[in-house]
Amino acid sequence: MRKRLLHIAMISFFLFGGLSDKYIDKNATKDKEQDYNVVALVLKDEHPKPIMPKDAFSMQVVLNKKPGILKRDSSIFMHHPNTNNFVLNSDLIQNDKIGFFKKVRLLSKEFFNNKNIKKETKNKKFDKKKQEKIEDGKSEKRYSKEFLMGQFRIAKHSDFVPINKRYTGRRTVFYMQKEAYLAYKKMYRAARKDGIKLRVLSATRSFSKQKKIWENKWRGKKPVEGKNLARTMPDKAHRACKILEYSSMPGTSRHHWGTDIDLNAFNNKYFEEGKGEKVYQWLTENAAKYGFYQPYTAKDSERPDGYEEEKWHWSYLPLAKEMLEAYKQQLSDQHIAKSKFKGAETAPKIKVVEKYVLGIHPNCK
C-alpha cells in the first residue's frame, strides 16, 4: 500500500510538480469544470517509476481560446519540443526516448483556432475538415499504400506501441496499434480470470521482415514440410502457392497493420486437445467481445480461398476492417508484382489480393 501511495505521489510530482498553487484553481465548481475537456494522464504499465526528464514535454492550458488557469478538468495540450509536433487527436502519445504514454481526449474546436498555436506550428497546417473525415472513418487516404504494405518504421510510428513482455514472455519486442493493444490487454485480463493464459507469439511485421520469411522459403533456406522448394518446385506459381498456405507475400500480410496477433502456438493441433483446446474454446466464445476475430477459419463454402486454417491468428476488426477497405481501393496484384522480393511476379497469376488478402471469413470483411 505504501509503495502504491508513493507511486501516485511521484506521478503527481513529475507531472504537475512544476506548477505552483497559483496556477491551480482548487475552488473550481463542477458547473465550470463541465465546460472543459477531461484529460487523463496515465503512465505505461511496464514502467514501475514515472519518468519526466526536463523539456520532454511542455504543457499549455487553453480555456476559451486563451491561456488560463489550470483546473482539474482543463484541456491540456501536449507539445513535443524535439519534433515540434502538436497532439491533435490520439488515444495515446508515445515519446520513444523515455518510453511512456499519456492518454488524452480531443481538444475543443475552439482550441484549434487559437492563433498562437498556428504560429508555433511553423506553417504546419492542420486541415480540420480532413481530420473530421478521418475521425469518422470516411477518409480513403487515412492509410497510405506504404502503410498498408508494411513499408514504414514500426517503432517510430506514432500509432504503434511496444507490447509489454508480460504478454509475450519473450525478449523480442513486438508492436501493436495502440487501440488494438488496449483491447488485447482487456481480453487478456478477462481470460486470466477464467483460468486461460494467452501469449502473443507474433504481432506487427514490416515488409522487410515478411520478405525475409518469404524468401527463406522461396530459396529453400527454410524447408516447407521438410522440402527445399527451390529444388522440388521449379514452377514459380506452384512454389508461391505452396508458401502461401501459411505465409503471406510481402506487402499482403494483415500483420503489417498492427491489428493482428498470433497466440500461444503456430500449430492447429495444439488447439485441438488439452490446454490448447480450452484456449481456443475461450477465444471462439469471448474474443469478439473485445473486437478480435479469427480471419483464417477452416476452408468451406463461405471461405473457399486463401490461407489454410490458423487457429492462432486473431485480428482486431474495428481497425482491420478499415484497412482492408483501404487496401481494396488502393492496391492490386500489379502493385505487389512490382515489389522487390523473389516471386513477386507471380502475384497477378495467383490473384493474391482476391484469393488471399480477401480470402478471409465473411465476418471479417
Question: Rounded CA gap, 363 and 365, in Å?
Answer: 6
Confidence class for position 121, pLDDT limits 50, 70, 90: very low
Percent of the chain at pLDDT above 90? 61
Cell of 288: 469478439
Nearest partner of 277 among 196, 201, 345, judged by Cα: 196
Least trusted range by pLDDT, from 116-120, 157-161, 182-186: 116-120
Spatial CB neighbours of 194, under 8 Å, sequence gap ≥ 6: 282, 286
Q: How is residue 200 written as a grid cell?
A: 502473443
DSSP annotation string for 107-151: PPHHHHT-HHHHHHTTT----HHHHHHHHTT--TTSS-HHHHTT-
What domains can you pick out in the chain, each with its CATH number? 2-126 (no CATH), 145-364 (3.30.1380.10)
SS3 46: coil
pLDDT at 256 over 60: yes
**CA gap 337, 40 in Å, rounded:** 46
Query: How confident is the model at residue 284, as a pLDDT?
Result: 98
Q: What pLDDT, on a 0 to 100 scale, did the predictor assign at position 1?
A: 54
Closest by CA to 250, choosing from 215, 282, 285, is 215
Residue 11 has pLDDT above 50, yes or no: no
**Among 141-145, 160-164, 217-221, whose mean pLDDT is lowest?**
141-145
Place of cell 478521418: 134
Report the C-alpha gap between 312 and 266 in whole angstroms: 6
In angstroms, the CA 203 to CA 121 distance is 34
Cβ atoms < 10 Å from Cβ of 43: 20
pLDDT in tens, 31-77: 333 332 323 333 233 333 333 333 333 333 333 333 433 333 333 33
Residues 250, 158, 40, 98: what is their CA dihedral angle, to the nearest 10 degrees?
Answer: 110
